[in-house]
Amino acid sequence: MLANAITLSRLFFLALCVYLLNLPDVTARLVAFGMIIVTIFIDAIDGAIARRRGSVSALGAVLDIAIDRVVENVFWITFVDLQLVPLWVALVVVTRGILTDAVRGFAMGQGLQPFEMMKTDWGRWLVSQRFMRALYGVAKAVTFPLLALLHALVFVWTDTPQAVYLPPLRIAANVLIGITIAMNLLRGIPVLIESRRFFYAEQPK
């Protein structure tokens, strides 16, 4: 119960981040930078708390995935709206998320846990292995705050001598965006590939 409450608290911090990012105030945007880090950190601890308290459940796993998907999609869409990220990035992430979650939902209907549906060794390594999940989390944990920081610095550095630092920061942000999207697809495509067996499974008569 505590772990699920912590997971749900991410929605509050998410809403606060989006609100602050849209304010024409550098302090608000810097606070949003910190709040994004908090929001991502919560995702790292809720599962650990559930395991320590022995309260791991199918509901908790589904809730964690759902909230993580909401947070990820809302941040990408917000950064598109703030003109920090191209539209295609959000479209790719949202489409990938809908498709993989639909497959996982069907797999759960067959009695499988969200990450248990992966049968191949390479699929389990990319999708279910804790190292890969953590690596993707780190990619988002670096990319999202950097975009928020860039948003704040653009506000105060434009038309000042410090503006010369903005292009390198944009390049760094674009590189991180590319890495994060590549990992997003790398961890999503195996789910879609392995879902083929559900289509070819023998149907009940």
Please give the pLDDT value at position 205: 43
Q: Which residues contact 189 (CB under 8 A, 6 or more apart)?
A: none
Within a domain: residue 205? no
Please give the pLDDT value at position 53: 61
- Which pTM was predicted? 0.87
Around 113, how many Cα atoms within 13 Å sit in the side-chain half-sphere? 12
Please give the pLDDT value at position 56: 59
Please give the pLDDT value at position 201: 62
Which domain, by its residues, includes 31?
A: 2-200
Please give the pLDDT value at position 2: 67
Residue 31 sits in a domain of what CATH number? 1.20.120
Please give the pLDDT value at position 106: 83
Residue (of 163, 151, 140, 143) closest to 29 by Cα position: 151
| Pair of tokens at residue 98 | 């809908």
Cβ atoms of 152 and 144 within 8 Å: the answer is no
Please give the pLDDT value at position 28: 97
Mean pLDDT in order along the chain per 10 residues (205 residues) = 77 95 96 93 71 63 84 96 96 94 81 73 85 90 96 95 96 97 94 82 51
Please give the pLDDT value at position 59: 64
Domain count, the chain: 1
Within a domain: residue 47? yes
Length, in residues, of the chain: 205
